[in-house]
Structure 1
Amino acid sequence: MDTMLGKTLFLLVCFILSCFFIISTTRYRRRKSLTAAATPPGPPRLPIIGNINLVGKDPHRSFANLSKTYGPVMSLKLGCLNTVVITSPEAAREVLRTHDQFLSNRGSNNSINSFNHQERSLVWLPSSSARWKLWRKLSATLLFSPQRMEATKDLRMKKVKDLLSFMSESSERKEAVDISRALFTTTLNIISSLLFSVDLGSYDRLKELNGFQDTVTGVMEAIGNPDAANYFPFLRFFDLQGNSKKVKDNIERLFRVFRGFIDAKIAEKTLRSNPKDVTDGDFLDALLHLTEGDEAEFNTNDIEHFLSDLFTAGTDTSSSTVEWAMAELLSNPKTMEKAQAEIDHVIGQKCIVQESDISELPYLQAVVKETFRLHPPAPLLVPRKAESDVEVLGYMVRKDTQVLINVWAIGRDPSVWENPSQFEPERFLGKEIDVKGRDYELTPFGGGRRICPGLPLAVKTVNLMLASLLHSFDWKLPKGINPEELDMDETFGLTLHKTNPLHAIPIKKRHPN
């Protein structure tokens, strides 16, 4: 018996030592490999500021131009912040897939840290944290799962019908429509109905909608703008560019809206003798239900931060993408005619496009993909941070380095795309390329564990709104504006907006009943 026990212990010790040796050898080889790997090339650095002078007001464009000289894995020194910029599908694959485990956390952002959002945010929390995993699970199961997407299909359809009704009234008056405001109203109402069961936007008061749309775009611009405090941490106290103040002011406006809904739902629940089943409620009902009890994992303040992520990302990116698509189509009348002909052929006698029709519209889907290629909602995605030394395409990315994936540049790379500056949806016909994070030449929603959780809703909403507008109306630009002269200027932030909102005149089509 003692002999058997001794053999067992001996074998166990041998097993443990073998595992230790294998792990140690692997780590040593990895460190040796990384030590041997070269630092990514980059432009010469000035004293103290490094390469800040090269960033400019449009970093995605500046970095794209620099990458032509220094390659797809480029190193920059932005003050105290080491940065690596990725500008090829192969390098993006390394970051989003191969080394996703080590490159999925977020860097420090002064605007976000100014109101401690990084401690509660789905976007900014470390992917290893329990809170991040909880937010991800709740958003996936309660909002974006296939079952929830099917259950909320009628809601999205109703909001799109409201958009078409507004466009019909404008058509009767032969008025040019502020496409940006109208689309934002639609996406705002889709999101607010999912979250709170109310419409926050009104087509009768588009000018008054400035509060919501300007608040959301203000947040995105201030977070994404180059900020001296991100490059020199000792400047955070001064907020020289006012980004922190702008974000805090705008976020506080959103929080006041959220608190109103939270307080109303809590008061309503207190007055009810028989609270309704949480499964019959909206997303906020479900979240508040989870704050009850002694072992609740979060509180109402956490909910405000969580809702702000969903609200800003959900309203801003979808409406902006459809606006860019309409602008490109108005600039390319033959492409618009081709998209409308396909829709009219497939929809036939029906007056309204349904979500189920989208799968039968390959050219429309190609138009949306082409829009994402040229105008990705987040041109540099959300910055990542290396949690350890990682080798990307033979170059060493050191721990704590900020990693930016320039999807805007990848989408316009002539070595990846033929005629990259041209709007040509035909390039996607007959190809299996999609935007779901598996094709690294087209990743507007990111990839890996940090892929945008709202991707299913965004893709459905964008395709449905665009198809509905093209099916129900013909479009023309206001008098004096030629298609080839249409303003396509963009404003950089965490998301990319059209600088001057698109205005166009809807001309109602006469479909048979």
Structure 2
Amino acid sequence: MDGFSLPYLTAIVIVVSLFWYFWISRTSKKEAHPIPPGPRGLPILGYLPFLQVNLHKQFTELAKKYGPIYKLWLGSKLCVVISSPCLINEVVRDQDTIFANRDPPVAAIVITGGLDIVWSPYGQYWRDMRKLFVREMLSNRNLEASYFHRKNEVEKVVKSLNTKAGSSVEIGDLIFVTELNVVLSLLWGGTMDKKIIDRIGSEFREVMSKLVDLMGKPNVSDFFPVLAKFDVQGIEREAKSLLPCFHEILDSIICERMKTIKSGKSEDGRRKDFLQILLELKEQEDSERSINLPQMKAILTDIVIGGTDTTGTTIEWVMAEVLNNPQVKGRVQEELAEVVGLKNTVEESHIPKLQYLDAVVKETFRLHPPVPLLIPRLPSQCSIIGGYTIPKGSSVFLNMWSIHRDPLFWENPSEFKPDRFLNDPGNFNFNGNNFQYLPFGSGRRVCPGILLAEKMVMHLLATLFHLFDWELPEGSEKIDLSEKFGIVTRKRTPLIAIPSPRLDDSDMYA
């Protein structure tokens, strides 16, 4: 054996065989579960220079080339885009725990401190905050108890529109103030001074819209974390500059509520409002359930933004689509006349019977989902989706805008056809069980405010169409339905319409 002993040679063969086995095994695994395909992009920058304004539409076009799951390198961040119901099922159901984390942009961290319900990581803190929010503010019992406040705000809208009959009205502004007043009434039980509410409403929309836009704006700091400290685009700077005004408004809300609590005005046998509960938890410094002021403000930020910006945007889209389709408006008003009656105003008890209006709202959510890519998810460990490896820490987008317009699942998907939701309404609810239709998301991170949003959207729309006729301003034959993409997708041009009283009974408008 020329100096080589048999045992030594055997050992070499075993070592080489083991090395070969592990190398083949590793290679096979890579081939069995590669990362998804996708466009190459440029060195260092990846696909970042090629991003377009309407990201949801661009992602849809890329899916036609690379399939229902593909990757994009945006700077140093690996992003995965999914646009298939069966693959989304794997993410939000089969592996929901793994994908339950969020990927908050720098702007969101600045605005909320990462302490809110939307952006905080999945864990005990998030579970406690979400449970508190749902139990104390959005339970069926609390929503029923607060019906008076919602009805009161709808009546204010009717009175306001009656004074503006024959004049142009910007729908977005009108709805925002109404939704804000509803949310604030839910927060503090309607005990706030009207002057304070009016002042808050006049200041809040502009600040909130800017903050929401900043959270959805592509930011170099998010794609190159090593550059975050330089804040190349100034997004972090702008968010910080808006915060003092935003927090000043929140502080005025908190201080005013504390005054009423200390004065004993709120202790009149009514259920505690959500703000009072938060304030009491803040005072329980030794309790495990206690919260601090930054946490409190973060939760209030979620409630106010989520309850006004997205809901108001949705109502504006519904109004735009209905006014763009006169036959749809006619059917909506015929149903209202039959269910509500021409001598009655709309009550929330009428809502379950308004099946066609419900279909109109669902069709609007299909064509204009408020958050078209949902909130990005961040897998907590390496995972396999659709036979592809999704590395830990990837940013995962679920392109619901694409699925909602996919001809594989929807007949004539670009057309506004509410009738498609009349045959099987139970299969197309907002609970996140039908993966072809997820306007509010699904799984653990599904939007917690669905029930309130549904009540407010339906009640307000039913009232607006029952009590008023709506016309477009002279010279406006068609409504511009183009979108302005962001974390919340709004109409590019505000909807302007002219109301006129539709029913004869003047007491309904008083």
Q: Give the TM-score category using the shorter length.
A: 0.7 to 0.9
Matched residue, 1:329: 322
Conservation of the 8 A alpha-carbon contact between 2:48 and 2:73 = yes
Compute the displacement of 1:443 (Å): 0.9
**Aligned pairs for 1:111-122 within 5 A:** 111-114=107-110, 117-118=113-114, 120-122=115-117
**Aligned pairs for 1:28-67 within 5 A:** 36-67=32-63
Q: What per-residue deviation string (whole Å, max 9, x for no partner) do you get for residues 468-487 of structure 1?
A: 1111111110000003xx11
Compute the displacement of 1:438 (Å): 0.9
**Aligned pairs for 1:328-347 within 5 A:** 328-347=321-340
Conservation of the 8 A alpha-carbon contact between 1:218 and 1:246 = no
Matched residue, 1:410: 403
Farther-moved stretch of structure 1 (341-350 vs 419-428): 341-350
Matched residue, 1:237: 229
Q: Does 1:456 align with 2:456?
A: no
* Residue 420 of structure 1, aligned match among 408, 413, 424: 413
Q: Does 1:83 align with 2:83?
A: no
Matched residue, 1:140: 134
Matched residue, 2:94: 98
Matched residue, 2:462: 467
For residues 347 and 413 of structure 1, do their structure 2 counterparts lie closer, same or farther at Cα, with a shift above 3 Å needed? same
Alignment-mate amino acid for residue 194 of structure 1: L
Query: Matches of 2:400 and 2:338 in 1, distance apart?
Result: 34
Matched residue, 1:16: none
- What secondary structure, in the 3-state scheme, does the structure 2 residue paired with 1:403 have? strand
- Cα RMSD (Å) of the superposition? 2.4
Query: Matches of 1:201 and 1:382 in 2, distance apart?
Result: 35
Matched residue, 1:362: 355
- What secondary structure, in the 3-state scheme, does the structure 2 residue paired with 1:441 have? coil
* Residue 485 of structure 2, aligned match among 478, 487, 492: 492
Q: Does 1:223 align with 2:218?
A: no
For residues 363 and 270 of structure 1, do their structure 2 counterparts lie closer, same or farther at Cα, with a shift above 3 Å needed? closer
Conservation of the 8 A alpha-carbon contact between 2:112 and 2:298 = no
- What secondary structure, in the 3-state scheme, does the structure 1 residue paired with 2:470 have? strand
Compute the displacement of 1:217 (Å): 1.3
Matched residue, 2:144: 150
Query: Matches of 1:43 and 1:509 in 2, distance apart?
Result: 55
Q: Does 1:190 align with 2:182?
A: yes
Conservation of the 8 A alpha-carbon contact between 2:342 and 2:503 = no
Q: What per-residue deviation string (whole Å, max 9, x for no partner) do you get for residues 43-100 of structure 1?
A: 1221111111232112111111111111111111111111111112222211111111
Query: Matches of 1:224 and 1:73 in 2, distance apart?
Result: 22
For residues 475 and 152 of structure 1, do their structure 2 counterparts lie closer, same or farther at Cα, with a shift above 3 Å needed? same
Query: Matches of 1:201 and 1:498 in 2, distance apart?
Result: 30
Query: Matches of 1:423 and 1:200 in 2, distance apart?
Result: 42
Matched residue, 2:279: 288
Q: Does 1:169 align with 2:163?
A: yes
Compute the displacement of 1:167 (Å): 1.1
Compute the displacement of 1:32 (Å): 8.8
Compute the displacement of 1:209 (Å): 5.1
Q: Report % sequence identity.
A: 36
Query: Matches of 1:446 and 1:411 in 2, distance apart?
Result: 13
Compute the displacement of 1:294 (Å): 3.7
Q: What per-residue deviation string (whole Å, max 9, x for no partner) do you get for residues 277-298 of structure 1?
A: 7963321111111122342421
> Based on CA coordinates, which of the two structures has the bigger radius of gyration?
2
Alignment-mate amino acid for residue 278 of structure 2: L
- What secondary structure, in the 3-state scheme, does the structure 2 residue paired with 1:236 have? helix
Compute the displacement of 1:242 (Å): 2.5
Conservation of the 8 A alpha-carbon contact between 1:34 and 1:390 = no
Query: Matches of 2:429 and 2:458 in 1, distance apart?
Result: 13
* Residue 203 of structure 2, aligned match among 207, 211, 234: 211
Alignment-mate amino acid for residue 272 of structure 2: G
Compute the displacement of 1:251 (Å): 3.4
Conservation of the 8 A alpha-carbon contact between 1:351 and 1:472 = no
Q: What per-residue deviation string (whole Å, max 9, x for no partner) do you get for residues 401-453 of structure 1?
A: 11011111111111111111111101111112112111111111111110111
Q: Does 1:444 align with 2:439?
A: yes
Matched residue, 1:123: 118
Query: Matches of 1:352 and 1:83 in 2, distance apart?
Result: 49
Q: What per-residue deviation string (whole Å, max 9, x for no partner) do you get for residues 159-194 of structure 1?
A: 1111111111111xx101110100001101001111
Compute the displacement of 1:39 (Å): 1.7
Matched residue, 2:240: 248
* Residue 482 of structure 1, aligned match among 474, 477, 501: 477
Q: Does 1:399 align with 2:395?
A: no
Compute the displacement of 1:489 (Å): 2.2
Compute the displacement of 1:259 (Å): 1.2
Q: When the two structures are superposed, what TM-score results if normalisation uses the length of structure 2? A: 0.88
Alignment-mate amino acid for residue 487 of structure 1: D
Compute the displacement of 1:241 (Å): 2.2
Matched residue, 1:259: 251
Q: What per-residue deviation string (whole Å, max 9, x for no partner) do you get for residues 198-243 of structure 1?
A: 67999x989x955311111111111011111110112212222222
Farther-moved stretch of structure 1 (57-66 vs 296-305): 296-305
* Residue 369 of structure 2, aligned match among 372, 376, 388: 376
Matched residue, 2:4: none
Aligned length: 475
- What secondary structure, in the 3-state scheme, does the structure 2 residue paired with 1:399 have? coil
- What secondary structure, in the 3-state scheme, does the structure 2 residue paired with 1:76 have? strand
Compute the displacement of 1:261 (Å): 2.5
Q: What per-residue deviation string (whole Å, max 9, x for no partner) do you get for residues 290-325 of structure 1?
A: 122342421222211110111111110111101000
Matched residue, 2:267: 276
